[in-house]
Amino acid sequence: MSHTRLLKNILIFEIILMIVIFVSYYFVFLDIKSKNENTSVLRNNLSYQIGKQQYMAEMQKTIKNSNSDISQISSMIVSKDGDVAFIESLENSARKNGLDIKIDSLTFDDNANLSAGGLTSLRVKATIKGSWLGTFTFMNELESMIYKVRVDTFALMYNTDADPSLTKKGVKSTVWQSIFEIHVLKFK
């Protein structure tokens, strides 16, 4: 019996040892699984934070670029008190090109879309008289102004009557007369 008892004790010891090993494997497995899940959560959080930082960097870059675009666009709009300066620039451009200019009317056209943005439209109707080259150069300068100018109407007529202010040395010259209407954006 001692031999059977020894075998029985060995068998019980092996069974207990196997149970302890399986239980320890189970706890090690749970620990590894928990650490893998934590690692996965940390990796996802890190990826999220990196993505968020990249997004913020891109947004800052976009805002920086937008600020320069906004200031550039704002410079194309007549300021609140810039009506006189705009009209003077029109008159100076006409005079520089040897033209006589007469401003026929100045009005503000309020548009619901523009008003929502704090803008209005300044409408200028004017008449210029002078040479063909002066008129052509003036129109080019008008379209090339720093302001956003829309030419709505432009009529060009000529006659061969002498104009004392434009005639040089008593020679008759061709006088061109232009009537135009423009709109320019203006801050309210």
| pLDDT per residue as tens digits for the range 120-174 | 888 999 999 988 888 889 988 888 888 888 888 888 887 665 455 555 544 445 6
H-run or E-run covering 104: strand 100-109
User: What are the C-alpha distances in Å from 47 to residues 37, 93, 114, 120?
Assistant: 15, 59, 44, 48
Secondary structure (3-state) at 150: strand
pLDDT-based confidence at residue 84 (cuts at 50, 70, 90): confident
> Is the CA virtual torsion 33, 34, 35, 36 positive or negative?
positive
pLDDT value of residue 163: 54
The domain defined by 83-187 folds into Alpha-Beta Plaits (3.30.70)
Q: Where are the extended beta strands (E) located within 114-165? A: 119-130, 149-159
Mean pLDDT of the chain: 84
Question: pLDDT above 70 covers what percent of the chain?
Answer: 87
pTM higher than 0.85: no
pLDDT of residue 145: 84
pLDDT digits (tens, 9 = 90+) for 106-115: 888 877 777 7
- Quote the pLDDT of residue 169: 40
Rounded CA separation 185/125 (Å): 15
Rounded to an integer, the average pLDDT of 93-122 is: 85
Query: What band does 43 get if pLDDT is binned at 50, 70 and 90?
Result: very high
- What is the rounded average pLDDT of the residues 97-114? 85
Residue 46's pLDDT band, with cuts at 50, 70 and 90, is very high
Q: Which of the two residues, 12 and 166, has the higher pLDDT score?
A: 12
